[in-house]
Chains A and B, each alone.
Chain A
Amino acid sequence: DQQVKQNSPSLSVQEGRISILNCDYTNSMFDYFLWYKKYPAEGPTFLISISSIKDKNEDGRFTVFLNKSAKHLSLHIVPSQPGDSAVYFCAATYVYGQNFVFGPGTRLSVLP
């Protein structure tokens, strides 16, 4: 049973528009969440994170929202750029843990 779910395998967005990637988790003990981005033939790289004590974290064009009651988080990219085309993984862990549980990923395509 997957503890971290990304129900959209793929997403296409026009350049300049907003991209919204969603992630759901089932384990209420998770209290720290991360997003990683992966380009083909490369390893995943860290993008942005959020602690459960917050409901929003922003870094430039990237914002992560956390809804603890719904066990849901989302990554917003505004404005989307063609260079954002990649697979995005959501990951969850515990504040003092090192064991990240990753979702299956969502492939984002930003169309010029």
Chain B
Amino acid sequence: DAGVIQSPRHEVTEMGQEVTLRCKPISGHDYLFWYRQTMMRGLELLIYFNNNVPIDDSGMPEDRFSAKMPNASFSTLKIQPSEPRDSAVYFCASSPETGPQETQYFGPGTRLLVL
């Protein structure tokens, strides 16, 4: 299996622009997670989906952030408008729907820089 795929790997944009990050989870995994990594706060969970349905979005920082999962093989995280403080590495992870022994499998991340 190719693992979790994220695109783009790097994104540089100007403040105020819309940014869309993409994720393809591992086939057969029913859970999908979006994380953000910063120096100050480490790895933070933004939102996660189960069977394409958002379960917990309490980590989404504000209304500028939105996430969708239109089908089992694709998810997007959108930031509109982007701000310099959104600069971070954004990870997508997926997990099978089983018990606690199942871990999350992370993609390589998207490094976002907002100027």
Contact = CB atoms under 8 A, between A and B. Distances in A.
Interface residues of A, number: 26
Interface in B40-75: 41-45, 48, 50, 55-56
A46 B104 contact: yes
Interface string A89-105: 10001111111111111
Interface stretch (B14-22, B78-86, B105-113): B105-113
Interface in A42-77: 42-46, 49, 51
Contacts of A102: 35, 42-45
B107 to A, nearest CB: 5
Nearest to A103: B42
8 contacts: A43-B106, A43-B108, A46-B104, A46-B105, A95-B100, A98-B31, A100-B45, A102-B42
Given A98-B31, A98-B50, A99-B45, A44 B100 contact: no
Interface of A: 6, 32, 34, 36, 41-46, 49, 51, 89, 93-105
A28 B55 CA distance: 23
Interface residues of B, number: 26
Interface centre among B31, B104, B108 (most CB of A within 10 A): B104
B100 A89 contact: no
User: What DSSP secondary structure best describes chain A's contact surface?
Assistant: loop
A6 B42 CA distance: 10
Contacts of B27: none
Given A43-B4, A43-B108, A34 B103 contact: yes
Contacts of B100: 32, 51, 93-97
A23 to B, nearest CB: 12
A99 B106 contact: no
Contact of B108 (A41, A89, A96, A99): A41
